[in-house]
Amino acid sequence: MKKSFIRLLAIVLVVSGCSKYGFVNLNYPQRPAVYLPDNVKTIAIVNRSLTKDQDKEKKITESIATGEIAGSDRIASDECLKGVFDRMNGQRGLTIVIPQRTRLYGTGTRVTPELLDWKLVQNICDSSKTDALLVLENFDSNSDLIVATLTNQVRTVVNGRTPRPELPNRIRMNVLAFWRMYDPSAKTIIDQYQSTSYLTFNGVGRDFALPPPDALPNTAYAAGQEYIQRFLPTYYTVRRDMYKRGKGSGKEDFKAAFRRAEVANWQGAIDAWTEIFKHTNRKNAGRACLDIAVSYEVLGNTDLALQWAKKAYEEFGDELGRDYAKILLDRKNIE
Q: How many domains does the chain have?
A: 2
| Comparison of pLDDT for 158 and 280, the residue scoring more | 280
- Which of 29-43, 78-92, 136-150 has the least mean pLDDT? 136-150
Residue 143: pLDDT band (50, 70, 90) is low
Residue 95: pLDDT band (50, 70, 90) is very high
The reply to whether 144 and 286 lie within a common domain is no
- How much is the pLDDT for 113? 85
- How much is the pLDDT for 146? 47
Determine phi and psi for 236, rounding to 5 degrees: -135, 165
Does any domain span residue 132?
Answer: yes
pTM of full prediction above 0.85: no
The reply to whether 199 and 312 lie within a common domain is no
| Comparison of pLDDT for 1 and 243, the residue scoring more | 243
CA distance 132 to 96: 10
Q: Which of 232, 264, 282 is the last residue of a domain?
A: 232
The reply to whether 257 and 176 lie within a common domain is no
CATH number of the domain within which 290 lies: 1.25.40
The reply to whether 136 and 225 lie within a common domain is yes
The reply to whether 222 and 242 lie within a common domain is no
The reply to whether 52 and 186 lie within a common domain is yes
The reply to whether 243 and 100 lie within a common domain is no
Determine phi and psi for 55, rounding to 5 degrees: -80, 90
- How much is the pLDDT for 154? 45
For a pLDDT cut of 70, what percent of the chain falls above it? 76
Does any domain span residue 35?
Answer: no
Q: What is the rounded average pLDDT of the residues 265-288?
A: 93
> Above 90 in pLDDT, residue 16?
no
Residue 29: pLDDT band (50, 70, 90) is confident
The reply to whether 241 and 226 lie within a common domain is no
- How much is the pLDDT for 9? 39
- Which of 92-101, 231-240, 244-253 has the least mean pLDDT? 244-253
Average pLDDT, rounded, for the chain: 81
Q: Are 59 and 70 in contact (CB under 8 A)?
A: yes
Residue-range definition of the domain harbouring residue 321? 3-30+237-334
Does any domain span residue 285?
Answer: yes
CATH number of the domain within which 102 lies: 3.40.50
Other Cβ atoms less than 10 A from the Cβ of 208: the count is 9
Q: Which of 207, 232, 257 is the last residue of a domain?
A: 232
CA distance 275 to 290: 14
The reply to whether 168 and 289 lie within a common domain is no
The reply to whether 61 and 152 lie within a common domain is yes
> Above 80 in pLDDT, residue 216?
yes
Q: Which of 181, 208, 232 is the last residue of a domain?
A: 232
Does any domain span residue 36?
Answer: no
The reply to whether 23 and 46 lie within a common domain is no
The reply to whether 149 and 215 lie within a common domain is yes
